[in-house]
């Protein structure tokens, strides 16, 4: 047993380096933060959100009945009766004026509205399904942005059931009312969604989100995979150079240090691109098979498509983020002592690649608090991950800002890498620097470097 | 022997944080000479060699290699030197031949490169094992391959750290022969070693380093006479303990 303990202790000591412990702590903190953010989103999504109502059938009996019933649904779901007008907001916009309705919805901070057709009550009285139109403002968020569609549909579904019960009770023997009408007295087939300032008919946020997810979620996944892959390649390459004792020979060859750095960067970038292409093809088939049955929406019909310029920008961002990742990996790689240590060193890069992927996937940039946006902006891998969405929705400030930041970040990383390659740290490690030696002296007692 | 200086080290210091590893050493090596830097572990030998080869920065002082200042003209220095680190390795996925080809690419093109590789293969003298993967080589074979790599570009100045460390008698003998031959062909060689016997029979002159300082220098014969010792090991012990 003591032998077992002895070996176990030795292994633990080798595996649980300060770098490894730090990585574990960072991963744990990251997961906690994402959990808090997602929890907030789930709470928001599960709340009954406010709804705007345009009553084109002002004199009608059934529209008033429907509005009163909707208010009752809210009160039954925990809304205070005194606050009901904040949840069920009667809009001033004219029925049929789509732009005015959407403008008022946005102005009053709502995300959706319903509008009663002027003939709503008349149609129902005549045994024809009364029309309620649904208005949405598409909010480019994470997975939970699709819930706006669901709230409208659920509410109208309640009204439909309520009216159905009422009509069946009163008119069960009325030959003018068909059974089909009695079961579905509300026609809710008209959907109008504002996308980037244009109102489109026949589409809901749910349909947009599910289709978008199939396309835009692929990019963050692929970027994350590429970054983790190339991170591992570069750092392991440095670990191998040190473990195989080939680095010193390489550094005394008659070539510039920048050439060595560039060669390593180029090879890893090419491998990264090959990985990226392979994963992109695989993911396209995979995501295609998942989403094809959900929604057959062609996003280009709603102005949500990328043109050549957009693809070029996306390509630039992916390339720059790979360069940034490589720069960071070269810096981390400079501090690894061997292949084993290299495996641990890839953790920070993996974590940095995972944070924006999860946040963008579940929460979305727009719903983050300002501090969250700042943190996400600083992480270079965020920019290509959200570029496709931003390009589709025309948020060029974030796209161009991201490109500028990535250029600065990549150049800074490469400059630091070249500086490290020209310094002693590459061979001696951080342990020989004045700061670390002083730190070890203070906190490490007798163990400080001799 | 040509008396021009291939290497001049003047009052060189190397400080790591708050520890001074090299404390103002000065020595020189003449062209075509085999010069030995000897001393105990942690004396500062490898640090000195690394500074000469542009791998570590000099804290203060100057090092001049064949007319080039190491601090100011590092790129020029790297063109004329060849460094063989202690326990150096090669890329394990390559064969001996492809490793030599890879290295030759940095020094020449076309026919010159082919001639360089041919020379490297001759020096390594590994027979048909030159086409085996490097990770199948014994320590002696690996060392011969690396010496071949270091010598094939015909450097003006070769630096070798613990060149025969861990080798058996036969391999160590053969490698010493190779070093003697390259020195005869005009290459200046600076070696570091713990092996006093090796240094005594191989080097024209030596410098002894202890705790970052040069404690003595001269030919093996001069030092033995000065310390009234029968071999360099005795010289070393007397020099360090006095």
Residue A176 has pLDDT above 60, yes or no: yes
Q: How many other β-carbons are positioned within 10 Å of the β-carbon of residue B115?
A: 13
pLDDT confidence of residue A146? 54
Asked if B78 lies within 8 A of A254 by C-beta distance, the reply is: yes
Picking from B70, B53, B63, B80, the residue whose alpha carbon sits closest to that of residue B27 is B63
Give the whole-angstrom CA distance, residue B38 versus residue B232.
10
ipTM of the complex, rounded to two decimals: 0.89
Question: Which chain B residues are Cβ-neighbours of A427 within 8 angstroms?
Answer: 50, 55-56
* B51 interfaces chain A, CB cutoff of 8 Å: no
Question: Which chain B residues are Cβ-neighbours of A251 within 8 angstroms?
Answer: 54-55
Disruptive mutation site among B14, B17, B20 for chain A (greatest number of A CBs within 10 Å): B17
* B102 interfaces chain A, CB cutoff of 8 Å: no
Residue A433 has pLDDT above 90, yes or no: no
Largest CA distance in chain B: 57
Mean pLDDT of chain B, nearest integer? 90
pLDDT confidence of residue B11? 95
Q: Are strands A191-195 and B19-30 parallel, antiparallel or unpaired?
A: unpaired
pLDDT band at A426; cut points 50, 70, 90: confident
For residue range B36-79, list pLDDT tens digits in order. Answer: 999 888 889 999 999 999 999 999 999 999 999 999 999 899 99
Give exposure, A349-373, as e/b (b: 16+ Cβ within 10 Å): bbbbbbbbbbbbbbbbbebbeeeeb
pLDDT confidence of residue A159? 87
Residue A143 has pLDDT above 70, yes or no: no
Of all helices (H) and strands (E), which one includes residue A112? strand A112-116
Mean pLDDT of chain A, nearest integer? 80
Residue B208, both tokens: 């002894």
Asked if B56 lies within 8 A of A427 by C-beta distance, the reply is: yes
For residue range A227-277, list pLDDT tens digits in order. Answer: 888 888 888 888 888 888 888 899 999 988 888 888 888 888 888 778 777
pLDDT band at A168; cut points 50, 70, 90: confident
Q: Packing angle between helix A396-421 and helix A370-378, nearest 10 degrees? A: 50
Share of chain A above pLDDT 70, in %: 85
Report whether B50 contacts B70 (CB < 8 A): no
* B173 interfaces chain A, CB cutoff of 8 Å: no
Q: Which residue has the higher pLDDT, A237 or B213?
A: B213
Considering only the beta carbons, identify the residue of B87, B106, B107 that sits closest to A245.
Answer: B87
When pLDDT is averaged across residues A190-219 and rounded to a whole number, the result is 78
* A404 interfaces chain B, CB cutoff of 8 Å: no
Asked if B87 lies within 8 A of A248 by C-beta distance, the reply is: no
When pLDDT is averaged across residues A272-291 and rounded to a whole number, the result is 70
Asked if B78 lies within 8 A of A252 by C-beta distance, the reply is: yes
pLDDT confidence of residue A447? 42
Picking from A244, A219, A424, the residue whose alpha carbon sits closest to that of residue A334 is A424
Report CA dihedral (B181, B185, B188, B191) to the nearest 10 degrees.
-10
**Does residue B162 sit in helix, strand or coil?**
coil
Question: Which chain A residues are Cβ-neighbours of B18 within 8 angstroms?
Answer: 434, 437-438, 441
Give the whole-angstrom CA distance, residue A400 versus residue A35.
30
When pLDDT is averaged across residues A207-221 and rounded to a whole number, the result is 74
Residue A376 has pLDDT above 80, yes or no: yes
- The pTM is what? 0.71
Q: Please name the residues in contact with A96: beta carbons below 8 A apart, sequence gap of 6 or more.
A: A56
Q: Please name the residues in contact with A193: beta carbons below 8 A apart, sequence gap of 6 or more.
A: A135, A136, A137, A138, A199, A200, A203, A204, A205, A208, A302
For residue range A303-358, list pLDDT tens digits in order. Answer: 777 788 888 888 888 888 888 888 888 888 888 877 777 777 777 888 888 888 88
Which positions 228-247 of A are in contact with B (Cβ < 8 Å)? 244-246
Q: Please name the residues in contact with B146: beta carbons below 8 A apart, sequence gap of 6 or more.
A: A249, B84, B88, B89, B90
Asked if B88 lies within 8 A of A423 by C-beta distance, the reply is: no
């Amino acid at each position: 047993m003591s032998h077992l303990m002895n070996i176990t202790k030795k292994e633990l000591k080798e595996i649980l380096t300060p770098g490894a412990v730090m990585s574990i702590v960072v991963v744990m903190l990251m997961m906690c933060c994402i959990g808090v953010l997602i929890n907030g989103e789930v709470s928001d999504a599960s709340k009954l959100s406010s709804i705007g109502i345009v009553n084109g059938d002002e004199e009608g009996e059934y529209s008033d009945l429907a509005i009163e019933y909707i208010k009752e649904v809210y009160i039954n779901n925990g809304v205070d009766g005194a606050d009901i007008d904040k949840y069920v907001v009667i809009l001033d916009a004219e029925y049929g004026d789509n732009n005015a309705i959407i403008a008022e919805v946005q102005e009053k901070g709502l995300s959706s509205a319903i509008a009663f057709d002027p003939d709503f009550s008349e149609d129902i009285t005549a045994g024809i399904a009364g029309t309620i139109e649904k208005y949405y403002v598409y909010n480019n968020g994470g997975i939970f942005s699709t819930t706006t569609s669901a709230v409208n549909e659920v509410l109208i579904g309640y009204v439909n059931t309520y009216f159905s019960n009422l009509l069946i009770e009163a008119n069960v023997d009325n030959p003018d009312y068909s059974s089909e009408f009695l079961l579905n007295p509300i026609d809710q087939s008209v959907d109008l969604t504002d996308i980037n300032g244009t109102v489109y008919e026949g589409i809901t946020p749910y349909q947009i989100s599910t289709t978008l997810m199939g396309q835009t979620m692929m990019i963050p996944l692929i970027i994350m995979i590429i970054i983790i892959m190339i991170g591992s390649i570069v750092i392991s390459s440095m670990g191998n150079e040190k473990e195989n004792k080939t680095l010193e020979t390489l550094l005394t060859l008659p070539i510039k240090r920048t050439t060595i750095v560039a060669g390593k960067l180029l090879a890893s970038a090419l491998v990264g691109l090959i990985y990226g292409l392979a994963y992109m093809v695989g993911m396209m088939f995979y995501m295609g098979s998942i989403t094809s049955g959900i929604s057959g929406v062609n996003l280009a019909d709603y102005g949500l498509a990328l043109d050549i310029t957009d693809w070029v920008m996306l390509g630039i961002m992916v390339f720059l983020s790979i360069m940034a990742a490589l720069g960071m990996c070269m810096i981390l790689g400079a501090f690894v002592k061997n292949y084993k240590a290299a495996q641990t060193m890839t953790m920070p890069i993996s974590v940095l690649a995972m944070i924006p992927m999860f946040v963008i996937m579940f929460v979305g940039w727009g719903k983050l608090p300002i501090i969250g946006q700042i943190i996400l902006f600083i992480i270079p891998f965020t920019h290509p991950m959200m570029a496709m969405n931003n390009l589709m929705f025309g948020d060029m400030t974030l796209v161009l800002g991201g490109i500028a930041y990535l250029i600065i970040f990549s150049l800074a990383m490469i400059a630091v890498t070249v500086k490290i390659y020209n310094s002693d740290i590459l061979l001696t490690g951080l342990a020989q620097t004045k700061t670390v030696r002083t730190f070890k002296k203070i906190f490490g007692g007798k163990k400080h470097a001799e | 022997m040509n008396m021009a200086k291939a290497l001049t080290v003047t009052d060189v210091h190397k400080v790591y944080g708050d520890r001074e590893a090299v404390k103002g050493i000065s020595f020189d090596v003449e062209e075509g000479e085999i010069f030995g830097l000897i001393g105990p572990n942690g004396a500062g030998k490898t640090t000195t060699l690394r500074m000469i080869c542009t791998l570590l920065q000099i804290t203060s002082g100057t090092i001049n290699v064949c007319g080039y200042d190491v601090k100011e003209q590092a790129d020029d220095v790297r063109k004329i030197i060849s460094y063989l680190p202690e326990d150096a390795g090669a890329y394990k996925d390559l064969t001996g031949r492809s490793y030599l080809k890879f290295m030759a690419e940095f020094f020449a093109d076309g026919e010159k490169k082919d001639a360089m590789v041919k020379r490297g293969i001759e020096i390594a003298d590994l027979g048909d094992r030159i086409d085996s993967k490097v990770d199948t080589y014994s320590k002696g074979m690996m060392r011969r391959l690396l010496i071949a790599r270091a010598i094939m570009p015909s450097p003006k100045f070769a630096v070798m750290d613990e060149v025969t460390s861990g080798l058996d008698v036969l391999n160590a003998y053969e490698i010493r022969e190779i070093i003697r031959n390259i020195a005869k062909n005009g290459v200046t060689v600076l070696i570091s070693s713990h092996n006093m016997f090796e240094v005594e029979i191989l080097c024209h002159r030596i410098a002894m380093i202890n705790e970052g300082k040069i404690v003595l220098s001269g030919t093996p014969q001069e030092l033995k006479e000065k310390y009234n010792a029968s071999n360099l090991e005795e010289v070393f012990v007397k020099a360090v303990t006095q």
